[in-house]
Homo-oligomer: A and B are copies of this chain.
């Protein structure tokens, strides 16, 4: 049994996709095929997408599921009326009740949530992304000073994707700094990081998983050997405990979960875009 799922939006469709995936994850025995149809912001595009869905409905045994986020009320009524799919109308479901509660009409602005509505917040997000990229494995003091959080960990423990995600999703200035052999042998925070102690957050990882990841990068090397991975991970964890640095095992978690946990543990301020 395979169902086609459409995500129809007048903007990027990211909201529709996010809701759709979250909801459909609850039906793990059904196989879904995803079709995103963004920027549906004219009458002719609305007609075309209705045709597309209805044609697929004619050809298949199961009605397609259609998640929509359309701020233009005419377009959304048209799809609700003429489209043969199962319509999940995200704005209609939630905007209407809030209008009553707020005693305030909604503005029906197209593609609001993922468009460029505010130049300043866009700039601060870009700055955060550039910050995380420039400071990848960097140790410039000037920049560590600006960081809201400094991720530390052995090579390939997930520092870089996590800092980029924190920047991209929440505009958080996240630097990261590797733990070298010297750092690990000394069992204490690297000297140049001591003054940033309260911004440090450690990442750790299952040594077998680390071994796998490093093998892909440098097959057969000492760097990738299980023995070396075990030694480094153990030293890093001992250092975190000894220095009372909060830390997290990234092995069984997604980037989103790791980032969310760090924000919570370090009481970081989310910025929304």
- B98 touching A25, Cβ below 8 Å: no
**Alpha-carbon gap, A125 to B162, bound state (A):** 12
Number of copies: 2
Q: Check A108/B11 contact, CB under 8 A, given A19-B19, A122-B254, A256-B114.
A: no
Give the one of A107, A108, A164 with max B CB within 10 A: A164
> Which A1-50 residues sit within 8 Å CB-CB of chain B?
3, 11-15, 17-19, 21-30, 34, 36, 38-39
- A104 touching B69, Cβ below 8 Å: no
Stretch in contact with the other chain, from A75-83, A89-97, A229-237 = A89-97
**Alpha-carbon gap, A22 to B89, bound state (A):** 13
- A116 touching B252, Cβ below 8 Å: yes
Number of interface residues of A (CB under 8 A): 78
**Alpha-carbon gap, A43 to B72, bound state (A):** 41
Closest to A34 in B: B272
- A18 touching B15, Cβ below 8 Å: yes
Which of B65, B122, B133 has a CB less than 8 Å from the CB of A98? Answer: B65
**Alpha-carbon gap, A245 to B120, bound state (A):** 31
- B23 touching A115, Cβ below 8 Å: no
- B98 touching A86, Cβ below 8 Å: yes
- A27 touching B98, Cβ below 8 Å: yes
CB of A109 within 8 Å of the partner chain: yes
A36 proximity list for chain B (CB < 8 A): 263, 270
> Which A97-136 residues sit within 8 Å CB-CB of chain B?
97-99, 101-102, 104, 106-109, 111-117, 122, 125-126, 129-130, 133, 136
28 contacts between A and B (CB under 8 A): A12-B254, A14-B260, A15-B19, A18-B19, A19-B19, A23-B95, A25-B117, A26-B91, A26-B106, A29-B104, A29-B107, A34-B270, A36-B263, A36-B270, A39-B261, A65-B101, A86-B98, A88-B98, A93-B93, A116-B252, A116-B253, A125-B255, A129-B161, A130-B160, A133-B133, A133-B136, A133-B160, A254-B273
A: residues with CB less than 8 A from B are 3, 11-15, 17-19, 21-30, 34, 36, 38-39, 63, 65, 69, 71, 86, 88, 90-91, 93-95, 97-99, 101-102, 104, 106-109, 111-117, 122, 125-126, 129-130, 133, 136, 160-161, 164-165, 168-169, 252-257, 259-261, 263-264, 270, 272-273
